[in-house]
Structure 1
Amino acid sequence: MKRFVSAGAATVVLLSLSGCVSPPSPFDGERKASDQLPAVVSEVIPTGDASSSRYQGKADGRELYLVKGKGDYQFCLAYTDGTKDGSGASCSGGPWVKVTFPDQAEFEVQLHGFADKPADGQKQVSKWVRQTAPARGT
């Protein structure tokens, strides 16, 4: 009986030491001044928390941000070209989202990061945001 108790206790200790470690998030760490959403974007994301925004980079003339979602949404990819018409957000209740713009530029977000390298023609904007298709006709 003693042997089984010791083995069981060792298993519990090992499991608690290994623990469930969540992957890094774009929302980890302190928010910087550069993470602040431009006012034109803040006005057009009712399903996202503008105070949680994190700047991801620029691609095809768009500034890209991730924001924590509200309600059923886990996060949003917010974007702007500096104009109200060129600003908005696409939100997801899960760990990923893909957005295609009228100019055919396409962006994918993986909230847990990408496990693979970008394919030819793709651009890694940040650890969490990848441009999967460039704009056409611009």
Structure 2
Amino acid sequence: MTEESASVRLDKWLWATRFYKTRKLALEAINGGKIRLNGIRPKPSKEVKIGAEIVISHGPYEKVLMVKGLIEKRVSAKVAVLQYEETPASIAKRELVSELYKMDRASRPITDGKPSKKERRQLVSIKREV
């Protein structure tokens, strides 16, 4: 990026740094409130500057990024990763949420899918007894 243009549109930056496959998906995420820029809900045309904080929400996960570089064109993943830095607190929080989901999944009983008619009748009779 040249010194003359010290900012880039938010939707372009998200697309160029490979957070979204298309600019339309980036635009929908911004309009859907899944992206925050410096603590506010921006419009897709909002300009991103170096040092800005971007929060990307994706389901239960949330990434907090600090902008380190500005690019307008989509580049390889190796180059794109150099344009931002995820905060250590964000990484720790995402790992914690991931562990909680794994523990929740492990605590559920393993089934072969829907219960058969016989199994369903047994479940109903057990529930009636309680």
Normalising by structure 2, we get a TM-score of 0.31
Bigger proportion of residues as helix: 2
- Larger gyration radius, structure 1 or structure 2: 2
